[in-house]
Amino acid sequence: MASTKTPLPAPANMASQSQEAQHLDMNGNAFELPTFTMKQIHDAIPARCFKPSILRSMAYVVRDFFYTSALIYLATTYIPLLPNQSLRFLAWVAYTTVQGFVFTGIWILAHECGHGAFSKSKKLNWTMGLIMHSFLLVPFHSWRLSHSQHHKATGNMDKDTAFVPHTRESWLNRNFGEKAQASMIEFAELAEDSPIATLWNCFIHQILGWPGYLLFNLTGQSYDGATGLKIMHFYFGEDSVFFKKAELGLILLSDVGVATMIGALIWAGQVFGSWNVIVLWGVPWLWVNNWIVAITFLQHTDASMPHYDNKTWTFARGATATIDRDLGFIDTHLFHDIIGTHVCHHLVSTIPFYHAGEASIHIKKVMGQHYKADTKTSFWTAFWNNQRTCKFVEESEGQEGSGVYFFRNLYNKPGQTAARDLTNGKIAEVRLEVREKEDIKPISSMATAMSSSRNLDARRRLSQSAQLRANLPLLADG
């Protein structure tokens, strides 16, 4: 009897042969390599934008610490007077949230010091940066030096130090074990996390991501598998992967600053009560962890975002592999516009934040189509979408060896550029068979149960769709 199956679509690699291969971002947009130079960028920016003002920079420091003090005074004076526990709880939630905004602004001012954008005086920059970052338990010089490496190699798959994306192979190995093979088609059915699993991963990512970076170099380079003290930002040994021998004294000074703040918190807990210190300082500090990780993630993760290998990367290309977003009043007033002018910041990081808006207007004229901004998608919607879709990077079909990578996933959702088909069309057959089996439940409902296991055989036993196609020789481990 003749088959009634719907004709299969042509494999992506066959379709690409009928047209000239292009770099495609995940939204399906064609991408051309930037050709503008840093000289063009510098020449386009008015000279006044490069000049920091000590008075203006210090005024922002005074303002933010005034906000901190005023919030503590208002909270401790008036919240206890509220008539019932529910109102007091809501008031404390409001306090910790707003204080978290202010603390994050202080973190960003220290960030300005680390880049030399706070003033022309290195001594003042280092002094104020050490004070403000120590207040938030950040080792200033350790962060300053590793962050400088990030700016020097932004978007470079081989040398960048923050939010380095997974390749397809490393992503599969991390999620499915070392025996995983990129051509195994069942991964497309196992890849999508359930919303609750994604929510949990986001929670861990936001709360532990920042201390995880400082302590364990999470999202950074592998440094040939280095572990332990070598990859800690607090380590001042000569075998550190981050720091040179001449810099180790500054690392020690940063550790002393953090230790001093920890001592001050312990003292405050003894004098004012540990619970008061936790609520007044600790919870806002957790908000800082959340905001720094979320901001940095969204600055360097997007469906339109390119990454490069070392042979294709240039400073100008890497510096524009970032995107401006919008968080309204919170960003422009409390976060010192770090979200809305990040492209400019990566191109010329010594421009003070209060001149970055003006400078951005001029650099857009040079960058043209290569300037990226998403001011229509809300901040947290963009965060959720990118957590769900930007799983790994790979080169576009027909552009293998080009050294230009874009985010992909194995979901193949409508409107998205599909990941390269490494199964010679078999994956399309399997997906069609799964759709035709009415008694097969969507695999996404089982993803949470499978996400904690790295045993590939166990995943197959749990997966109904994997059981369906277990007889396919393509799935054999050998």
Q: How does the average pLDDT of the chain come out, rounded?
A: 85
Confidence (pLDDT) at 189: 61
Taking Cα atoms as reference points, which of 341, 370, 368 lies closest to residue 354?
A: 341
Confidence (pLDDT) at 334: 97
**Which is it for strands 30-31 and 306-308: parallel, antiparallel or unpaired?**
unpaired
Confidence (pLDDT) at 451: 41
pLDDT digits (tens, 9 = 90+) for 33-90: 999 999 999 999 999 999 999 999 999 999 999 999 999 999 999 999 999 999 999 9
Taking Cα atoms as reference points, which of 116, 104, 106 lies closest to residue 151?
A: 116
pLDDT digits (tens, 9 = 90+) for 85-117: 999 999 999 999 999 999 999 999 999 999 999
Confidence of residue 450 (pLDDT cuts 50, 70, 90): very low
Rounded distance between C-alpha atoms, residue 362 and residue 66, angstroms: 34
pLDDT digits (tens, 9 = 90+) for 398-446: 899 999 999 999 887 788 898 887 777 776 676 666 556 544 444 444 4
Stretch among 198-202, 246-250, 286-290, 292-296 having the lowest mean pLDDT? 198-202
Taking Cα atoms as reference points, which of 117, 144, 120 lies closest to residue 130?
A: 144
